[in-house]
Copies of this chain bind each other. A is one copy, B any other.
Amino acid sequence: MTPGSNGARPAAASPHVIALDAMGGDRAPGVVVEGAVDAARAHGLTVLLVGPRATIEAELARHNTTGINLEIVETDEVIAMNEQPARALRQKPRASLKLAIDLAAEGRAAAAYSAGNSGAVMAAALFAMRRLPGIERPAFGSPVPNSNGLTFLIDMGANAECKPVYLLQFAAMGVAYMRLAFGHDNPTVGLLSNGEEEEKGTPLVKDAHRLLKASGLNFAGNIEGKDVFAGTVDVAVADGFSGNVLLKAAEGTRAMIEDALRSELERSLRTRLGALLAMPAFRAMRRRFDPEEYGGAPVLGVNGVVLKGHGRSGPKAIRNGLRLAHDLAENGLIGAISREVERLTVNLESGAET
């Protein structure tokens, strides 16, 4: 069977079988294998560990693996974090990242997870799984912690250039994802712009605004970068360029504040003692804004379930990511996305008639 050609669904694996790029991420393979062991034990998953057998076995030897289901899928090819994606995939057809995604595309796993090279994950998913029917461009979504919980940002960087209809479809995919992954009933959608007023923004944003207004989605209008963190909306829609700028700006700001706070607290005995007493609050903060809790960023709009973990993922992020991959497969992510985008088309068409 040709994997995913013409958007045909591959034979489905049990949702308990997840393919994992054992070599993906800044701290691979150590923390990745550790996370896989934890996930297999805690959630009863079967994890297909893709990578060099000897390396993986050496890591497995550090853990108790009795009674859990882990299989190694052997390959020696690995794509580094900063390689140019298209070239890397051409030169390394058996790269661990690619093989893991191929396993999901072929129905030998229900989903794939990698904390490796984002561009290569997107390209490999698109190549092996193809777009879902009716989807113009797949996108990367990302849960972003905010003051009340989280906002789902889509696109976070796959499509630097967008057309208005892409943004509309990103919105529908984000809504389907928020419902499925986080149990939101009727998620609100905001369109990222440089001001809340309807007349603000680039021509892309203005046109997307009109489409979203007519879409039947729960559209709350334009939002500014700060609204994502205030939790004004559930789904924030952006082209991949500004979505990426937004995420990286938040990451940079958090790092800057943490560094500055640490150095200011070090300055005197008094503030060092204060820091010691305040430690539970600092720990709670870290948990609250820890991207590791949220399991990773889904590739949405392809005919398969693929999750991308943060490059700096630790074992907890890997474990949560594998569990989320299972949940998404079990709860029918692909069908949910397809239905939401179909409904959109119908709404737009009936909107055009009136």
Contacts and interface: CB of A to CB of B under 8 A. Distances in A.
Contacts of A201: 160, 241
A249 B265 contact: no
Interface string A267-309: 1101101111111111011001100000000000000000000
Contact of A254 (B247, B257, B264, B275): B257
A285 B282 CA distance: 15
A288 B262 CA distance: 13
A71 interface: no
Contact of A241 (B202, B230, B254, B288): B202
Given A147-B256, A224-B244, A229 B200 contact: no
Nearest to A248: B225
B244 A246 contact: no
A260 interface: yes
Nearest to A119: B195
Given A194-B160, A246-B249, A256 B230 contact: yes
Contact of A229 (B242, B252, B271): B252
Nearest to A279: B274
Contacts of A267: 280-281, 284
Given A84-B197, A226-B255, A271 B278 contact: yes
A264 B281 contact: yes
Contacts of A224: 244-245, 248, 252
A253 B255 contact: no
Interface string A50-88: 000000000000000000000000000000001010000
10 contacts: A160-B205, A194-B240, A201-B241, A229-B252, A250-B252, A254-B257, A261-B285, A265-B281, A268-B280, A273-B277
Given A260-B285, A264-B288, A278-B278, 20 more contacts: A146-B256, A147-B260, A225-B246, A226-B248, A226-B249, A226-B255, A230-B252, A242-B242, A245-B246, A253-B253, A257-B257, A257-B285, A257-B289, A260-B289, A261-B285, A267-B284, A271-B277, A274-B274, A274-B279, A277-B277
